């Protein structure tokens, strides 16, 4: 999209269920108050184009604008974060919420079952974790889970553990269960 003097305005929406659930403009997230229908999003894009004629959007918010690393999640922040996740990432978080702690082998078995993909591998799991952690880092929020290496049955294995502070909330948001 054109801006001011022939520059480009980069607009990156995340669309789930026919609605924009996250919006980045010029590489910076614009916090949404609500999801945007596709019809309304066309109007939003026109507004951004008009604004870009007069405002250098690429320079807005330069400097330290992100919250401090490790900030606690609110219910609404976590709900919005979960809406942005793909099916595999949600399945990963569901398994952790259900079990609390799980070995890599058990986790892969659960993901294969939930996703109906018997070929699901450790590389796929690494992608899930990278995607979740990258987004958490960009938001400056506290990690939801920890991974540690333990010697189990004579060999090292990864153990994935959900932070207990978020277990009930994740169960509620992902599965409709947990404590109110």
Query: Is the confidence at residue 178, as pLDDT, over 80?
Result: no
Domain ranges in the chain with CATH number 3.90.1150.220: 75-175
Query: Is the confidence at residue 179, as pLDDT, over 70?
Result: no
What are 104's two structure tokens? 């890599």
Mean pLDDT computed over 118-130: 92
pLDDT for residue 2: 37
**What is the per-residue pLDDT across 129-150, written as a single tens digit (0 to 9) for each?**
999 999 998 899 999 999 988 8
pLDDT category, 110, cuts 50, 70, 90? Answer: very high
How far apart CA 105 and CA 124 sit, in angstroms, is: 13
Q: Which CATH number fits domain 75-175: 3.40.190.170, 3.90.1150.220, 3.90.1150.10, 1.10.357.10?
A: 3.90.1150.220
pTM > 0.85: yes or no = no
How far apart CA 34 and CA 69 sit, in angstroms, is: 25
């Amino acid at each position: 999209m054109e801006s001011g003097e022939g520059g480009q305005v980069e607009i990156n929406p995340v669309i789930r269920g026919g609605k924009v659930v996250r919006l980045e403009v010029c590489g910076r997230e614009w916090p949404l108050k609500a999801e945007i229908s596709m019809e309304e999003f066309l109007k939003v894009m026109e507004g951004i184009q008009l604004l870009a004629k007069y405002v250098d959007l690429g320079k807005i918010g330069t400097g330290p604008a992100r919250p401090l690393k490790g900030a606690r999640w609110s219910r609404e922040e976590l709900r919005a974060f979960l809406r942005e996740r793909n099916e595999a990432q949600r399945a990963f978080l569901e398994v952790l919420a259900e079990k609390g702690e799980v070995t890599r082998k058990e986790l892969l078995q659960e993901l294969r079952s939930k996703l109906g993909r018997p070929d699901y591998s450790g590389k796929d799991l690494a992608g899930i974790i990278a995607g979740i952690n990258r987004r958490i880092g960009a938001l400056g929020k506290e990690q939801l889970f920890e991974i540690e290496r333990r010697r189990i049955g004579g060999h090292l294995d990864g153990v994935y553990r959900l932070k207990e502070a978020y277990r009930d909330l994740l169960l509620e948001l992902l599965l409709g269960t947990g404590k109110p």
